[in-house]
Structure 1
């Protein structure tokens, strides 16, 4: 019973870990930490955190690293590490943790669109699962547009009774700073597109290089160089790279170790046990946790546009997941039939008479 419950518990912990990242990162950004600096330190800490997994778990089974593999890992670093995280943290700096988590749920729909464009996914519009995926994608896009460009009235939610003085000071410090919900939302959508592109590239690369820890270590290492180069161009002052502030250091270590190394390892294990669809179902849980924490700790206000847009995105997410699940179940009998046909054909060939017409033409063994 515990073995069946363990994947559920781990995925809840992973989402809680991501929720903590959104809160600590927002506090660090409000305190003055630059997004590019935060992303660079995240890649550095993630590289050192994942390196032991790559060495001890894959050093015997790791395939040869060819020039083609290095090029694909470079593309993964540009999309999954640099593009995704730079856009996400800059978007988070301009918006709120709740909006950031809501737009993250666009990932399955955007991935479906890109995978269909590159021939990794079939629309099958004449089937109910195909229609569900298209309808779910449209809902996700509509929810994202509503959330990005419409606020509406503020929902009268009572203030939290929790008084976190540090969070209050950081919010007051950023009161006159940067805040642009439209720009932030557009950047967050761009982050989801970049992350979806990484999934498409990673899917192709994993077929030739099935060593996820090694590829992730190399991706984070290259991402450290890329983000560091971009960050140094944007931030010349050495003081901007200082981790003397406790919230800077906590946020950098937390995002790298907990949200890259640990979350990746736990998610990979759950995918092996339950499959990718099971893991995807937990995505909206992050939105709920962050919305509660943002209300309780950061005094975040909730607007009608944010709430309705978030609901549309979550409903669209589950429509896409439902369609994908039904397609997988429909494909299983077909694959089983194909495997049986191959076995029958193979058996028939083994029992064919030999050239002399005497006996059978069995395949040699040993």
Structure 2
């Protein structure tokens, strides 16, 4: 299936699924949508959905699902660096928690370099897999696929940062999810029409194509984006992206047993290095939050003394 058609359809499904929830549950809590705010949501939809996902799924044609999700583990590091530059994230290299975040970022980037520069011996694909990918496009150009997925990671990181900024102005997560999906679907549709003129590409067969669109639209474009927005509002964009390494292990396992993909030693080693680095960052950030909470709580010496009022006889 054409990846750009797939991206368009999944956002249409995501917008349709989230619309009734946003309309009824946030009718009174939804802020007024100004032109400036609409343009901000337009840019978010472009960076997080239409542009990013079109590059992301196009890269799957030239590499593999396990490789793409492994490179996507750079998103937490990139998000962290952008947040530090914009002063949305604290970094103090004079204490262990700051060193852990900086060291973890460097280790995760070293893991990415390992994955892209060293393949290593291949582990034989699982012969009983339900499907075996045998497309002419798969593994055709690792260089082109790598450029596409790295570019998508950069735009995705900026998307997470912008989520935190936009949620302060538009805190209605259900409505924001609906807007992002609808605008992202329109943007992707325009892009797809320009590069794909055949009507046959838009046809959906009632098999894996249909169910992939339904799953991606409902779960990924609908429920997942809403949960990410809610978590971003509660904990910030860096915290949300720290859990993306879990996808690497899950996709590698599912890709091996279901899609019959080969596992390479270099990919496994690189993924392990990435996960170690990213959870160093997560440890440092957790210590940061505990430190800031302890500073906000007044000590016993800072507490105001209670005034005692008694009668003259008591005094």
Task: Say which of 108, 111, 119 aligns to 2:79.
Answer: 111
What are the equivalent positions in structure 2 for 1:195-274 lying under 5 Å apart?
195-244=156-205, 246-266=207-227
TM-score by length of 2: 0.87
What are the superposed Cα offsets for residues 226-276 of structure 1, whole Å, 9 maximum, x if unpaired?
111111111011111111352222222211112121233455677789998
Q: Secondary structure at the match of 1:94?
A: coil
User: Residues 63 and 138 of structure 2 are in contact (CA less than 8 Å); yes or no, is this contact kept in structure 1?
Assistant: no
| Map of 1:293 onto structure 2 | 254
CA RMSD of aligned residues (A): 2.8
Matched, 1:335 2:299: no
TM-aligned CA distance change 1:121 to 1:267, over 3 Å: closer
TM-score by length of 1: 0.76
TM-aligned CA distance change 1:190 to 1:337, over 3 Å: farther
| Map of 1:324 onto structure 2 | 285
Q: Structure 2, unaligned stretches of length 5 or more?
A: 307-315
State the shift of 1:281 in Å.
5.9
| Map of 2:48 onto structure 1 | 80
| Aligned counterparts of 2:283 and 2:296: Cα–Cα separation in 1 | 20
| Aligned counterparts of 1:45 and 1:151: Cα–Cα separation in 2 | 37
| Aligned counterparts of 1:295 and 1:194: Cα–Cα separation in 2 | 29
Q: Structure 1, unaligned stretches of length 5 or more?
A: 1-32, 348-366
| Aligned counterparts of 2:6 and 2:127: Cα–Cα separation in 1 | 31
User: Residues 148 and 181 of structure 1 are in contact (CA less than 8 Å); yes or no, is this contact kept in structure 2?
Assistant: no
Q: Secondary structure at the match of 1:125?
A: coil
Structure 1 stretch 296-305 or stretch 319-328: which is displaced more?
Answer: 296-305
What are the equivalent positions in structure 2 for 1:9-158 lying under 5 Å apart?
33-154=1-122, 156=123
More helix by share: 1
Q: Secondary structure at the match of 1:300?
A: coil
